[in-house]
Chains A and B, each alone.
Chain A
Amino acid sequence: MQPRPQSSACVAEGYAAAVDWYGPARKGDQEKLAEWCSTVGPPIIEPAPAAYFARAQGAEALTVVSWNVHGGSGDLFGLIERELDLPCRDGQPAVGTSFEHFVLVLQEVYRRSSDVPRVGARSTIPKQLKEEASPGERVDVVEVARRCGLSLFYVPSMRNGDREYEDGREDRGNAILSTLPLSDPIAIEIPFEAQRRVAAATTVHSVAGDSLRFVSVHLDVASSMLRVLRTGNSTRQRQGLGLLDALAELEAARADPTGDCGLLYCYPECPPGSPPRYHIATLAAGDFNTWSARETVIKHYYRHFPQSPAWDGLPTRASYPTDFIFFRESAEGRVRLVEGSHRRLDDQHGSDHFARIARLEFPR
C-alpha cells in the first residue's frame, strides 16, 4: 500500500481535499479501482456533532457498534434509539438518562445525491442491494446523521445500482458516525478483487481529549473461480493484509513527528523482542465476509490487534461469522476495551447482519 498520488483520476474529481487517500501500489489494482471510482460521488466529512452532545454525560466510556446495514434494509434510527438510547427519527434528538457517547462503524450504507455522477450502464456498476422490507423509513446515511446530530465520515465504494431518482443517484460504502468530533479522515482503497472496497478511517476525540482511531472495513465475499485458481483463494487475505499495510503506513506517518520512534512508539519496525507500541489506539471493525472465525485474515487481525475481544461463537450473517471488532491499545494505554462488554446484538434491526457492540473506557 502507499499514499495515493493526488493526480489520480479518482481523487482529482472534486474529492474533499481534507481526506487523505491510501491505496495499493500495484498498477493493476489502481486501474480497476479508478474505473469503479469514476462512478461514485465524493466522500462526506461532517466533523462536528450537534452542540448538545458536548454537554452529555458519559465522558469516561464510549459505546461502539459495528454493523452491516445492507443498504436501506437496516433501521438505523431503530438501532440508535433502542440500543444507544437516542431517539432521533423525527429530527429532534432527545438524550436519554442512560445515554453514553457512541461511535457507529457502518458498512453498506447508501447515500442518494445528485453528486453521484450520471454515467451510463457499465460493468463497474453493481446491481442495487436486494433489500428486505425495512421496519423503518428508508433513509440514507447523510440524513440519519443530520437528524440525529451526529458527526459523519462517509466514503463510497461503489454505486448502488444504476437507477435514476428525482433527487439523484445512489452509491454505497462505509461510514463512521458519532456523538463525538471526528478528525483526520482517511480513505483506504484496499486491493481490488471482485468489487471496489474502501475502508473509512477517522479519529474520534473523547470529551477528556483522548484520541482513538476507528476503521470501518468491508471485504469481498469471493472472487471469480478462475481468480481463485490463479491466486490460491487469496481474496480476503490480500484485501485484509493490504489494509493492515496501510494502517502500518499510517502509524509511521502520524506517530513520529519528533523522531522518537523506537522509544515511545514502534510499529511496524520494533527492536528485536519488543512488542509493537502504537501511537494511537485503533479499533478496526466490520464485515470481513469470512466463512469461519479461523480464517487466515482473522488470524492476522488478532495478531495485529492483541487486545481484541475473543469471538463469542455466534454467527452474524446466516450461519457465518462475518463481523468482527478488533482493538489495540496505544503505548500510553489511555483507552481500553471494557472486559465482557463485547457481544452480538440480538436484533438484526432489518438488516441481513447482526451488529456487534463493545464498550471502551478512558481510565484516569
Chain B
Amino acid sequence: MLAALAAAAFAPRTAIAQEGSDWAQVAGGALGLYSGAVLGTLGGTVPCSQTLAGVDCVRVSGALGGVVAAIGGVHLGGVDEDAVASAARGAGYGLLIGAAAGFALQRSVQRLGWSEVAAGAIIGSAFGASARGAAIGLAAGTALGTVLYWAVPSFDLPNSIGVAVAGMALGGISSWVIRGVEGHPDAADEGPVVLSFTLSL
C-alpha cells in the first residue's frame, strides 16, 4: 500500500495521465480508508462523548468514515490517477506539517511526549489527503460551532470545538465521495492547500 502511495506521490507529473488504472484504484482506496478512518474517529470523539455508547460510537464513526472514503477512493482511482497522486502528495505535506505542529506542541507543553508528534503526523496526513474538503468542513464547522456557542446557553466550548472537528471530518470524507463521483482532482493543479489555524482545548 505504501509503495503504491509513494509511487503515486513521487511519479513525474508529466507521466500521470488523466485516466484511471488498477494501481490508482488500490492506492485511492487505501488512502481513502486511512484518511476517512482517522477523520471519522476524530470527528466522532466529541459528539460521541455525549452519548451512552461513547467509545463504541466513535469506533462506528471511524469505521464508517473509512469505508465511505475508501469506496470514494477506489472510484477516484478508476477514473483519475492524477487525483490520487494529488491526494497522496497532500498526505505527505500534511504528515510533515502535522509532525512539525506536534513537535512544537511537545516542546511547549511539559506533560506531552513524542506520541504527540506521531499523532500530529497521523492527523496531518489524513487531513492533507483530503485537504480542500476537510478545510471547507473545518471552516463551516467552526462557523456553526461559534454561532451555536453564542446563541445557545447550554452549548459550551467543548461542544463548539466538537462541531468544528466533526465538520472537518464530514468535509474530508465527503470530498472523497464527491471526487469519486465527479472524477476530478482536488486541487491537483494548484498545489497543496496550506492552512494555518489554532485549536484551543
Residues of A within 8 A of B (CB): 126-127, 222, 224-229, 231-234, 237-238, 291-292, 294-297, 299-300, 303, 319
Contact = CB atoms under 8 A, between A and B. Distances in A.
Nearest to B161: A291
Contacts of B53: 296
B118 A226 contact: yes
Nearest to A238: B55
A294 B49 CA distance: 8
B44 A232 contact: yes
Contacts of A225: 102, 115-116, 119-120, 123
Contacts of A127: 110-111
Contact of A231 (B50, B55, B120): B55
Nearest to A315: B156
A76 to B, nearest CB: 27
B141 interface: no
Given A225-B119, A295-B50, A237 B158 contact: no
Contact of B49 (A226, A231, A233, A319): A233
B59 interface: yes
A127 B110 CA distance: 9
Interface string B48-74: 111111110011001000000000000
Nearest to A313: B154
Given A226-B116, A229-B123, A232-B62, 5 more contacts: A229-B119, A237-B55, A238-B55, A296-B50, A296-B54
Contact of B50 (A232, A238, A292, A300): A292
Contacts of B119: 224-226, 228-229
B166 to A, nearest CB: 13
Interface string B121-161: 01100000000000000000000000000000000111100
Contacts of B113: 224
A292 B46 CA distance: 10
Nearest to B45: A233
Q: Which 4 A-B pairs have the closest CB atoms?
A: A232-B58, A296-B54, A225-B119, A226-B115
Nearest to A194: B111
B55 A228 contact: no
Nearest to A297: B54
B41 interface: yes
Which of A126, A227, A299 has most B Cβ within 10 Å? Answer: A299
16 contacts: A127-B110, A127-B111, A225-B102, A226-B119, A229-B122, A229-B123, A232-B62, A233-B58, A237-B54, A237-B55, A291-B156, A292-B49, A292-B50, A295-B49, A296-B50, A303-B52
A234 B110 CA distance: 22
Given A226-B115, A299-B52, A291 B158 contact: yes
Interface of B: 38, 41-42, 44-45, 48-55, 58-59, 62, 102, 110-113, 115-116, 118-120, 122-123, 156-159, 201
A238 B56 CA distance: 12
Contacts, number: 76
B104 to A, nearest CB: 13
Contacts of B50: 292, 294-296
Contacts of B156: 291-292, 319
A237 B50 CA distance: 11
Given A226-B118, A229-B38, A233-B58, A296 B51 contact: yes
A176 to B, nearest CB: 28
A312 to B, nearest CB: 13
A127 B119 CA distance: 24
Nearest to B126: A229
Contacts of B157: 319
A194 B110 CA distance: 14
A62 to B, nearest CB: 32
Contacts of A237: 49, 54-55
A240 to B, nearest CB: 10
Contacts of B158: 291-292
Contacts of A319: 156-157
B167 to A, nearest CB: 17
A225 B51 CA distance: 21
A237 B57 CA distance: 12
B112 A232 contact: no
A229 B102 CA distance: 14
A227 B42 CA distance: 12
A295 B118 CA distance: 27
Contacts of A126: 111
A70 B58 CA distance: 32
A232 B52 contact: no
Given A224-B115, A227-B115, A291-B156, A232 B41 contact: yes
